[in-house]
Amino acid sequence: MKYRKKPVVIDAVQYKANEPASDWYSDSEAIRFDDGGCFIRTLEGDMRVSDGDWVIRGIKGEIYPCKPDIFEATYEAAA
């Protein structure tokens, strides 16, 4: 059988190393900024967020990074 992902609306912001972080993710306990970078604590371990990556807050409040090409193939702007 084939399955389609249910449509959900998420919060997302594109990380820019030289710009201030968005309030909702800079205040998260899962995120730390050091060594000139941004790191997100996920169930899979700490993940480095690269310049241009998207930072997503999922439907249960989980925060995780997403590479730009995957984000573009998976998400579109909500109406």
* % of residues, the chain, pLDDT over 70: 96
Q: Does residue 78 lie in a domain region?
A: no
Q: Does residue 49 lie in a domain region?
A: yes
Q: Does residue 14 lie in a domain region?
A: no
Amino acid at 78: A
CB within 8 Å of 76: residues ≥ 6 apart: none
Q: Does residue 2 lie in a domain region?
A: no
What are the angstrom distances between the C-alpha of 59 and each of 18, 37, 72, 76, 79?
A: 28, 25, 19, 16, 17
Question: Would you say how long the chain is, in residues?
Answer: 79
Q: Tell me the two tokens of residue 39.
A: 């790191």
Structural domain tally of the chain? 1
Give the integer Cα–Cα distance in Å for 73 and 61: 22
* Residue-number span of the structural domain to which 45 is assigned: 22-58
pLDDT tens column, 39-59? 999 888 999 999 999 999 988
Q: pTM of this prediction?
A: 0.81
Q: Does residue 48 lie in a domain region?
A: yes
Q: Does residue 10 lie in a domain region?
A: no
37 by DSSP, 3-state: which? strand
pLDDT tens column, 20-30? 777 777 677 88
Q: Does residue 17 lie in a domain region?
A: no
Q: Does residue 30 lie in a domain region?
A: yes
